Structure 1
Amino acid sequence: MIAIEHHIPGQADDLRQFSDEDCVAFLKAGNSAAFPELMRRYQNRIYTYVLRMISCPDDAMDICQTTFISAYRNLEKWQPNALFRTWLFRIASNSAIDYLRRNKLYTQVPIESLNHTLIDAMDPERQYMSSARCTTMIKLIQQIPPVFRQALLLRELEGMSYADIAQALDISEGTVKSRIARARYGLVSGLDQIDDVESNQ
């Protein structure tokens, strides 16, 4: 992080060269251009994450927008020793879970009871798949219980470390690893079930 007192970029400066944390510091110092830059970096990523959580495009967009509004209004609560990204995804995660609970879509069903689930998105053998297969994968993701889905999406979609996910979800690293492992187990099992059905047709 740079020394803010030595460099506060003007409105026209290219903020892309600075870290998220620098941009937050610039914003606190009065540079209003820093927030649109943070939105540029994360709007699509937050939207995609929330959409995978709640499965409703319009409401996902609303949650995405309120996530940034909440972040802007609560910047003083962000601690500089934490990554801005994990803090932002924590806001989005909480909003998504609140949405699911409000709409009675939140479930704690054990992942072992699911007929179909997700796959490990990083499996190189499955990186090249048909459009229909991709659609199936998205549907499988949406069947994972939210607590497992959160952790898996942050790991595979965002590439977060276990430590960052733990911080974003306010849980221990051990719990993060357990949730991801259970999600992956269910994913692979569910995909294998689909493959078995298709091979027997």
Structure 2
Amino acid sequence: MAEDKTILELYRNGEQNQAFNLLVREYGEKLYWHIRTLVLDHDDANDLLQNTYVKAWNSLETFREDAKLYTWLYRIATNEVFTFLNRKKIINFLSISRNEATLERQLAADPNFNGDKVQMSIQKAVAKLPPKQKVVFNLRYWQEMKYEDMAEVLDSSAGSLKASYHHAYQKVVEYIKKDFDMDN
């Protein structure tokens, strides 16, 4: 991507402010929604996005240009999400775990969520997926990322990601069928 080269050139030429602004302008919204679809909460997504920027910025000097900048950023963001979800899982295990009604209330009360019942059902179904399937589903379904790019982000093979997406998709469909009582 031309923007990637421009960001890296600006950074290396000492124009860090311009490089950072371009990085945020080019990838900020995409990264935010990638994170947001995984953690659901707006504030958590913003915090994780900030962490992603800090880690990326501190490591930009060592970025190998054999990878795409956006897949590298997605990998950092995804790792931040995994760390967050694992930490949250431990906290939820030690306290009262979040149930479906709590998730539904959280989505309904969120001013940034403007989805209908189908979207809410999809979000609830995705929230129930194991972390890796959740990421794979979101990257493919919402972000429409190619399997080859997903393989770079997740350090996995495209074939295993296709299988993971298929399993996740089937689980989401089953959940939605039950949610809408379509089997009866």
TM-score by length of 1: 0.72
Residue equivalent to 2:81: 96
Q: Which of 128, 137, 153 is the aligned partner of 2:122?
A: 137
Provide the residue aligned with 1:79 in structure 2: 64
From 137, 149, 153, the equivalent of 1:164 is 149
Does the CA-based 8 Å contact 2:72-2:153 persist in structure 1? yes
Give secondary structure in 2 for the equivalent of 1:104: helix
Deviations 1:29-85 (A, max 9, x none): 222202111101222221221122122221211110110111111012321111101
Contact kept in structure 2, 1:21 and 1:84, CA below 8 Å? no
1:132–1:103 distance in 2 versus 1, CA, 3 Å = same
Q: Distance in 2 between matches of 1:158 and 1:133?
A: 18
1:156 CA drift (Å): 2.2
- What is the CA-CA distance between 1:133 and the residue it aligns to? 2.2
Q: Determine which structure has more spread, i.e. the larger CA radius of gyration.
A: 1
The answer as to whether partners of 1:26 and 1:34 remain within 8 angstroms in 2 is: yes
Q: How many aligned positions are there?
A: 160
> Normalising by structure 2, what TM-score?
0.78
**% identical aligned pairs:** 29
Which residue of the partner structure matches residue 19 of structure 1?
3
Deviates more, 1:61-70 or 1:27-36: 27-36
Name stretches of at least 5 consecutive residues in structure 1 with no aligned partner. 2-17, 107-129
Post-superposition, which runs of at least 4 consecutive aligned residues in structure 1 deviate over 3 A? none
Deviation, 1:198, is 6.0
CA contact (8 A) 2:125 2:171 kept: no
The CA deviation at 1:161 is 1.3
Structure (1/2) with the larger helix percentage: 2
Q: Are residues 149 and 199 of structure 1, via their aligned partners in 2, closer, same or farther at CA, if it must alter by over 3 Å? A: closer
1:132 Cα deviation from its structure 2 partner = 2.5
How big is each residue's C-alpha offset from its partner over 1:152-172, in whole Å with a ceiling of 9 and x where there is no partner? 211222222111101101112
1:146 is aligned to 131
| Alignment deviations for residues 69-126 of structure 1 (CA, whole Å, 9 cap, x no partner) | 11111012321111101000000000100011112269xxxxxxxxxxxxxxxxxxxx
- Choose from 6, 10, 13 the match for 1:29: 13
